[in-house]
Homo-oligomer: A and B are copies of this chain.
């Protein structure tokens, strides 16, 4: 059986897809029974040189060359953007073509609409590559934890930020030097906002939370904090307490009866002994905690041409299987339920807190008074010698809620000579 593929996009991921389809054609046919053949690619700039793969298919800039081509059964959307990609995927699904996409922004924002359109048209819509590049986390969540109650899904799901934090920690680079290195190595774009401010991780976390809990969060449901405010001193202090500082996406059940979900992207302190702490540089990892299974982690490359293309291929071979068995049209994740979002008082964790305070008599007394008033108590405390008349106080606290932290933030903001320089959760 021959299956025709139409590619939107021949950039990093698109050319990787072409390479695998060409290099591993024999194996793919042997294992799926299908010949997967690229029939057409659509790009933006026809003048661009395309190298690195044999090109035995036409390239155009007209979406209709794919959408109206009856020889194409599967559309692979690896061009990016939300609106244009939405329109194209919707048209493809409506034309009863299966769709594979790597577009996290789109799936996080309008995935549910597209899933409904796919179902209505009896076609597949898969997007394994949209979360954590080469790591097969979505298919795993949808096939291997169906009978378990997941309590948390958490991960290092932005390779750019993790590269920067790793370089800051191990090579003692400043944030800006580490960002520059990431850009030189191709791990960060010239405008890194999407990565370092946590938005990219937030998109992926929305998709993970949907698969793990059946909920459909939107961006405004998430607390999002990036890594731009993070200093090498914060990292050194976290390390000295036995923790790595990592940008995490965490979606978890909270509350006495575990009936609310907290979703946030933020830098957190991870104990050196925890497997997440060992995930370095551009690598990603997703941790799943289930009532039955306990703690499982999937680790691997979070991006890159070939790993990401491999995830697209895993979707393609699964469409091929569905075609062979005549079973397409089932949603990638068919799990839907309503769970409330957590209130700040339900989001409880130990904290790492850095306070800068004028080095005057009684200053420390007033700081500790503020924390006592917010009922936040310390487990570890470290004061380093004052520089420029300012003392740096680093503390780990007992569990405290976001509500308590909001209170202390307000108190400190209204006080003179004291500044809350950093506040991060401890992951456990």
The residues of A with any CB-CB pair to B shorter than 8 Å are: 16, 20-21, 24, 27-28, 30-32, 128, 134-136, 139-140, 143-149, 273, 275, 278-280, 290-301, 304, 306-307, 309-311, 313-314, 316-318, 325, 327, 330, 334-335, 337
Contacts and interface: CB of A to CB of B under 8 A. Distances in A.
A148 B313 contact: yes
Given A143-B143, A313-B148, A314-B145, A296 B135 contact: yes
Nearest to A296: B300
A111 to B, nearest CB: 18
Contacts of A294: 134, 300-301, 304, 306-307
Contacts of A325: 325, 327, 330
10 contacts: A28-B147, A135-B296, A144-B314, A148-B313, A292-B306, A292-B310, A293-B310, A296-B298, A296-B299, A297-B299
Given A140-B140, A300-B297, A146 B292 contact: no
Closest 7 CB pairs of A and B: A136-B144, A296-B300, A147-B313, A292-B310, A297-B299, A293-B310, A146-B317
A213 to B, nearest CB: 11
Contact of A310 (B290, B300, B309): B290
Given A31-B334, A300-B293, A139 B144 contact: yes
Given A30-B335, A290-B310, 4 more contacts: A134-B296, A136-B140, A146-B317, A275-B299
A27 to B, nearest CB: 7
Contacts of A335: 30-31
A31 B307 contact: no
Given A275-B299, A278-B278, A300-B297, A292 B147 contact: no
B298 A298 contact: yes
Nearest to A295: B300
A147 B295 contact: no
Nearest to A24: B147
A295 B301 contact: yes
A47 to B, nearest CB: 29
Contacts of A139: 140, 143-144
B278 A292 contact: no
Contacts of A32: 146
B318 A20 contact: no
B334 A307 contact: no
Nearest to A304: B294
A24 B149 contact: yes
A306 B149 CA distance: 12
B293 A146 contact: no
A306 B311 CA distance: 30
A296 to B, nearest CB: 4
A384 B307 CA distance: 45
Contacts of A136: 140, 143-145, 296
A72 B301 CA distance: 43
Given A32-B146, A146-B32, A146-B317, A134 B27 contact: no
Given A275-B299, A294-B134, A296-B300, A147 B307 contact: no
Residue from A28, A147, A337 having most chain B Cβ neighbours under 10 A: A147
A293 B297 CA distance: 17
A139 B298 CA distance: 14
A316 B147 CA distance: 9
